[in-house]
């Protein structure tokens, strides 16, 4: 039996089909979005939503999320674009990679809110449905960092150390061959967190955005310790990596929201038609429809590219 000595990295992350480059990172992002939509569709219909509404909302949320992720990346990593020798126009080259999860979630939420408002859907109800799917999408997206040999952790001689080609290693670690595979740590954490959100949602009948808040809290907890392992250059806030600071602030805010919303019964949303069989309201549920709820009350090549995710 072969014993794992290290994890190899893919030899390339871009394939040229004629004049068109196919990037593994982009394929991972697309696969994650499709999985998130599929998971959310099942959860949404089970909660009383109409089939197809998830895709209608995604038409707004996905473009907003991509733009927001890019804005966050450029603001927090401005050196490749506006620093010495930087290329400002590259800030618009989303296809070359460079997305920040915090901007993607924030702007994606704005897009979802616009769509939900147009469709008469309370945003917290939809947010609870999409929460596990987002975690799965983020897990799949991290495979793109593996293909690009980026955003890895510090040196390690553990059996699951990640092999990194010399051209991708920091100057301080040119003589080190294996590093902490932070992409794998986050992938596994995200999948485990998705399972916890699904379990807690069923066990405690979470509503009013609490499942989404649990997703945020769990993701921040995992991202916090994973971020501390990384060796890639990062801007700091009061001497702390910006993403570490963001994890603490956003994570604590999510916990505070869950505490504030504790004890509230899950909403029952029936949007499938008057003849559909739906879950009857009982002492622990509150009917939610567009008639009695204001939908507004809701929350280049591999060697010369910017980091494709944060």
pLDDT in tens, 249-274: 999 999 999 999 998 888 877 765 54
Confidence of residue 239 (pLDDT cuts 50, 70, 90): confident
Are the beta carbons of 293 and 122 closer than 8 angstroms?
yes
Answer whether residue 33 shows pLDDT above 60: yes
Measured between alpha carbons, how far is 263 from 204 in angstroms, rounded to an integer? 10
pLDDT at 15: 94
Average pLDDT of span 137-147 = 96
pLDDT at 80: 85
Which residues make Cβ contacts (< 8 Å) with residue 114, sequence separation at least 6?
60, 64
Confidence of residue 2 (pLDDT cuts 50, 70, 90): low
SS3 content of the chain, % helix, strand, coil (to 5): 55, 10, 35
Q: pLDDT tens digit string along 149-190?
A: 999 999 999 999 999 999 999 999 999 999 999 999 999 999
DSSP structure string for 170-186:
-GGGTT--EE--HHHHH
pLDDT at 206: 95
Average pLDDT of span 204-231 = 96
Confidence of residue 3 (pLDDT cuts 50, 70, 90): low
Portion of the chain with pLDDT greater than 90, in percent: 68
Average pLDDT of span 91-97 = 77
pLDDT at 281: 38
pLDDT at 8: 96
pLDDT at 306: 45
Average pLDDT of span 83-104 = 84
pLDDT at 86: 84
pLDDT at 273: 55
What does R_g of the chain's alpha carbons equal in angstroms?
A: 21
Confidence of residue 283 (pLDDT cuts 50, 70, 90): very low
Burial class (CB in 10 A: 0-12, 13-18, 19+), 210: buried
**pLDDT averaged over the chain?**
86
């Amino acid at each position: 039996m072969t014993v794992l000595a290290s994890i190899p990295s893919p030899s390339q992350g871009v394939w040229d089909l004629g004049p068109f480059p196919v990037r593994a990172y982009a394929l991972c992002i697309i696969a994650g979005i499709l999985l998130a939509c599929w998971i959310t569709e099942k959860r949404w219909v089970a909660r009383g939503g109409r089939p197809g509404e998830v895709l209608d909302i995604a038409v707004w949320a996905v473009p907003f999320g991509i733009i927001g992720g890019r804005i966050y990346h450029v603001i927090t990593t401005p050196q490749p674009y506006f620093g010495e020798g930087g290329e400002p126009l590259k800030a618009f080259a989303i296809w070359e990679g460079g997305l920040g999860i915090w901007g993607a979630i924030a702007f994606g939420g704005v897009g979802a809110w616009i769509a939900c408002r147009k469709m008469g859907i309370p945003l917290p109800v939809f947010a609870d449905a999409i929460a596990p799917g987002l975690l799965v999408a983020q897990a799949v997206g991290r495979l793109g960092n593996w293909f690009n040999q980026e955003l890895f952790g510090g040196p390690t001689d553990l059996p699951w150390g990640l092999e990194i080609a010399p051209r991708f290693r920091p100057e301080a670690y040119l003589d080190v061959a294996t590093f902490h595979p932070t992409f794998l740590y986050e992938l596994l954490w995200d999948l485990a967190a998705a399972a916890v959100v699904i379990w807690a949602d069923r066990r405690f009948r979470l509503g009013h955005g609490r499942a989404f808040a649990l997703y945020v809290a769990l993701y921040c907890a995992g991202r916090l310790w994973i971020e501390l392992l990384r060796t890639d250059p990062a801007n700091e806030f009061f001497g702390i990596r910006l993403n570490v600071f963001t994890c603490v602030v956003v994570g604590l805010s999510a916990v505070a929201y869950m505490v504030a919303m504790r004890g509230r019964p899950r909403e029952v949303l029936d949007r499938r038609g008057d003849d559909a069989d739906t879950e009857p309201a009982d002492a622990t549920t509150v009917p939610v429809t567009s008639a009695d709820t204001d939908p507004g009350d809701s929350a280049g090549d591999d060697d010369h590219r910017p980091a494709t995710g944060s």
